[in-house]
Amino acid sequence: MTPRIVELGSGRPIVLVPGIQGRYEWGLPTAQALASLGHVVTYSLADEPTSGFDWSADDGFENYVRQLEQVIRQKGLEHPVLVGVSYGGLVATEYAARHRGEVEALVVASAPPPEWTLPARAQRYLTAPTLMAPVFWAGAPMRVYPELRTSLPAFGDRWRFIFDHGLRIARSPASSARMARRLRWLATARCSTARALDVPALIVTGEDALERVVPPDATRQYRRWLPGARVVTLADTGHNGTVMRARDFSAAVGDFLAALPAHDERPGRAPAPSSEIERAHRVS
């Protein structure tokens, strides 16, 4: 089966790595918004039946790092910007750590950090993902509604998103068993972040009160490996801000990329300590 790689826009290469649900379709609003900034490439995670990529259960999390490398090489992308959403943030960071100097910039959005400890609720799902799937999916609307109501306060916008995103989910359903397997692989992932990365980076989180999946404080731990990172909070969003407020997310990424120096202007030294250059702002 031929690997299925989706491409949108033109210009600066941007690779969007999907989250734990694994389907590129769920992140299409994000990809479409980012296409205003460049040539966006995205795909489904390797073990999704529709992805077309080879994978091995024995390789675990390594499948996704290898897949990202294959996508970049197959499409001939030079110095791409990597955008990793949720689970994809760790995939993108691990690739950047192994390919230092080959990535223009890194964007990590609502991502679990290396060596993340799963919350008790997720641990319960892992014990019997198929059995617990009805409970998980039945509770999903209640978990996401506070964010949905705050992020999209206008009734029409809210129900338009529910309809459109509901269709995407119905046409490209996620698998609870595969999601649980990815969480188990995360627990045994071998990360290369012992040495800080000097790649320009943007860390994006939602609001503390609205994030129900990866606490913003956990995502902000990426500053340990990305000491020069800029930190942004997407106002009125939680874990799903990259989709619900895709244009705001794209605007934050665009501001970050616009501030980057040209390749030949970048100094050959590590970035200044984060206390000197880190700045957080809110995108409304």
DSSP bridge partners of 39: 13
Domain-wise residue ranges, the chain = 5-283
Query: Measured between alpha carbons, how far is 137 from 146 in angstroms, rounded to an integer?
Result: 16
Closest C-alpha to 57, from 158, 220, 184: 184
Span 5-283: which CATH code?
A: 3.40.50.1820
Closest C-alpha to 257, from 45, 103, 70: 103
pLDDT tens digits, 147-188: 999 999 999 999 999 999 999 999 999 998 899 899 889 888
pLDDT (tens place) for every residue of the chain, 284 residues total: 799 999 999 999 999 999 999 999 999 999 999 999 999 999 999 999 999 999 999 999 999 999 999 999 999 999 999 999 999 999 999 999 999 999 999 999 999 998 777 666 666 665 665 655 554 544 555 678 889 999 999 999 999 999 999 999 999 999 988 998 998 898 888 888 778 999 999 999 999 999 988 999 999 999 999 998 999 999 999 999 999 999 999 999 999 999 998 754 544 433 433 333 233 333 32
Residue 194 CA, chain-centre distance (Å), reads 21
Token pair 């300590």 is found at 273
Query: Measured between alpha carbons, how far is 210 from 238 in angstroms, rounded to an integer?
Result: 4
3-state DSSP of 251-264 = HHHHHHHHCCCCHH
Closest C-alpha to 110, from 20, 7, 36: 20
Q: Based on C-alpha coordinates, what's the Rg of the chain?
A: 18
Q: How many other CB atoms are found less than 10 A from the CB of residue 141? A: 10
pLDDT tens digits, 39-67: 999 999 999 999 999 999 999 999 999 99
Q: Which H/E stretch holds residue 233?
A: strand 230-234
